[in-house]
Chains A and B, each alone.
Chain A
């Protein structure tokens, strides 16, 4: 019987990394939020060093291709593969430029996870609140399970989805312009 028990433990040792691998979406967000706050609170780091470290976290946290694909919606297929690649790069730079400095203005805001909802088997929404001194902002992360990791493909701030907001803009631009013109507009934007 003791041997059986040992065998059972052995089975668990094999299975455990697997379940941890699939991981709960909330854990992924909680983990990332803690890391980001640790970097922001670190006074010994310069702004540039902080940004560098945040970019590494960003790349691990987000599913950049999915984010870009959904932001373009049906227009995604109008871009050829090299344009798609450049689009992903440019899109990251735009987000970095717009939100990078804003994140560095961090003033002891807290991130509280308020709920989790499965959208489908491989898509989930983690609901959080960013609690500042004078306001609370609901921020929802939509994640997708990709290669065993939960990656963010949309951020919904105060009920406004980032992806849908960009899709409206790109649809409007691509109704009047060609994909290469769009890339040109984005290049100018990041300069």
Chain B
């Protein structure tokens, strides 16, 4: 029996020592630690059942570690992913930089002061309702885009949201569809994203005055949105632009400080914004592509971890 205790003690020491003292090969060690935790459990359970010798424990430990060799290969690929760059062509850089300056001034000299004044008058709940209202009006764009992406579930969700929020959400001022019971979340779908899913690249980066960062591909979206926007067809010509300006001020009032933070954190704000745009749009496309073809590879490592 004493031997048994000694064996236990030795095993415990062995594992504890192995985990802390593997400075010889730091990278492989790090990759294996999570594997070890599992093999320790595997080893301890085999000890419990069979009361086997150290040799057998080692054998089970080796079995426990073998999936991590795959993981190391994966990590090399991942390193590529981590180091890989998401970029966007920018042949119009001088023009774009000028437009960036223009939009920057427009924000600090006009939009921000107006939004701040507006913020003082209208409480946050009111501004959130206005935002919901305009979001609800964006329904046709999202619905049609979902259809073009063959995302019928998404299209149905959007349709359900539109009906629920228009009827029970006081014409879209509230968002009852998004609460826990219904759980109909907004589907961020647009035409630029649809074209991206079809395999069309950005073309190149364009900064539009007033409208901000875009690309050749996503400019189609700006045009499409213009025609899907109900106020475009309002009678005196200035109603459409005025409503848009109001929408812009309202959404700016909810996001005061975001742009400032981005600018403050950036070494070169122009490049920072361009890259943020490229990343944001690429992820919009990726997210939807994943939904279409659910990749089991993505889920596998997590499942392994929680087995």
Contacts A14-B13, A102-B261, A164-B86; A7 near B268 (Cβ below 8 A):
no
Q: Which residues on B sit within 8 Å (CB–CB) of A8?
A: 8, 44, 48
* Closest partner residue, chain A, to B6 (CB atom): A7
Any B CB within 8 A of the CB of A133: yes
Tell me if B72 is interfacial: C-beta within 8 Å of chain A. yes
From B83, B131, B268, A172 is in contact (CB under 8 Å) with B268
Q: B223 on the interface (CB 8 Å rule)?
A: no
Closest CB-CB distance, A68 to chain B, in whole Å?
A: 13
Whether a CB of chain B sits under 8 angstroms from the CB of A11 is: yes
Q: Roughly how many angstroms separate A172 CA and B40 CA in the complex, as a whole number?
A: 48
Chain A's nearest CB lies how many Å from the CB of B251?
11
B303 to A, closest residue via Cβ: A118
Given contacts A158-B280, A167-B85, A185-B267, contact A120 B254 (CB under 8 A): no
Known contacts A10-B5, A15-B15: does B272 contact A146 (CB below 8 Å)? no
Q: Is B292 an interface residue, CB under 8 A from the partner?
A: no
Set B1, B12, B266, B304: member contacting A15, Cβ < 8 A: B12
Q: Which of A73, A133, A160, A186 contacts B280 (CB 8 A)?
A: A160
Q: Does B239 contact A (CB under 8 A)?
A: no
For the complex formed, measure the closest distance between the CB of A158 and the CB atoms of chain B, giving whole angstroms.
7
Whether the Cβ atoms of B276 and A18 lie closer than 8 Å is no
Q: Is the CB of B272 within 8 A of A121?
A: no
Quick one: CB contact mask for A93-126 with B, threshold 8 Å, 1 for yes?
Answer: 0110111001001000000000011111111000
Give the distance to chain B from A64, nearest Cβ to Cβ, in Å. Answer: 16
Chain B: which residue is nearest A153 at the CB level? B82
B47 at the interface (CB under 8 A from A): yes
Judged by a CB distance under 8 angstroms, whether B71 is at the interface is yes
B34 close to chain A: CB less than 8 A: yes
Whether, in the assembled complex, B153 has its beta carbon less than 8 Å from a beta carbon of chain A, the answer is no
A169 B8 Cβ-Cβ under 8 A: no
Known A94-B265, A135-B254, A165-B272; judge A11-B128 contact (CB<8 A). Answer: no
Q: How far is the CA of A99 from the CA of B266 in the complex (A)?
A: 11
Q: Once bound together, how far apart are the Cα atoms of A118 and B87, in whole Å?
A: 25
Are A102 and B257 also in contact (CB < 8 A) when A120-B74, A122-B31, A146-B30 are?
yes
Contact B34–A22 (Cβ < 8 Å)? yes
Closest B residue to A98 by CB, please name it: B265
A165 in contact with B12 given A3-B1, A102-B261, A173-B268 (CB within 8 Å): no
| Shortest beta-carbon distance from B24 to chain A in Å | 14
Known A18-B40, A189-B267: A120·B127 in contact at CB below 8 Å? no
* B-side interface mostly: helix
Tell me how far the C-beta of B49 lies from the nearest C-beta in chain A, rounded to whole angstroms.
Answer: 11
Contacts of A145 in B (CB 8 A): 30, 33-34
> Which of B40, B78, B87, B276 sits near A123, CB closer than 8 Å?
B78
Interface digits, B44-57 against A, CB 8 Å rule (1 contact, 0 not)? 10011000000000
Does B35 contact A121, Cβ atoms closer than 8 Å?
yes
Does A21 contact B83, Cβ atoms closer than 8 Å? no
Rounded to whole Å, the gap between the CB of B296 and the closest CB of chain A is 14
Taking the complex as formed, is A70 at the interface, i.e. its CB lies under 8 A from any CB of chain B? yes
Q: In residues 140-174 of chain A, which contact B (Cβ within 8 Å)?
A: 144-148, 158-161, 164-173
Contact indicator A21/B19 (Cβ below 8 Å)? yes
Contact between B83 and A73, CB atoms less than 8 A apart: yes
| CB <8 Å contact, A73 and B85 | yes
* Chain A hits for B37, CB < 8 A: 18-19, 22
Choose among A15, A74, A119 the residue that contacts B78 (Cβ–Cβ < 8 A): A119
User: Within 8 Å of chain A (Cβ to Cβ): is B279?
Assistant: yes
Q: Which of B112-170 contact A (CB under 8 A)?
A: 124, 127-128, 131
Known contacts A145-B30, A160-B280, A120 near B268 by CB under 8 Å: no
Which residues of B approach A to under 8 Å, CB–CB?
A: 1, 4-5, 8-9, 11-13, 15-16, 19-20, 30-37, 40-41, 44, 47-48, 68, 71-72, 74-75, 78, 82-83, 85-87, 124, 127-128, 131, 254, 257, 261, 264-268, 271-272, 274-276, 279-280, 283-284, 287, 298, 301-302, 304-305
Please name 18 pairs of A and B residues whose Cβ atoms are closer than 8 Å in the assembled complex, sorted by A: A10-B8, A12-B44, A15-B41, A18-B37, A19-B37, A19-B40, A94-B265, A95-B265, A97-B264, A102-B257, A117-B298, A121-B75, A121-B301, A148-B20, A166-B267, A168-B271, A168-B274, A170-B267
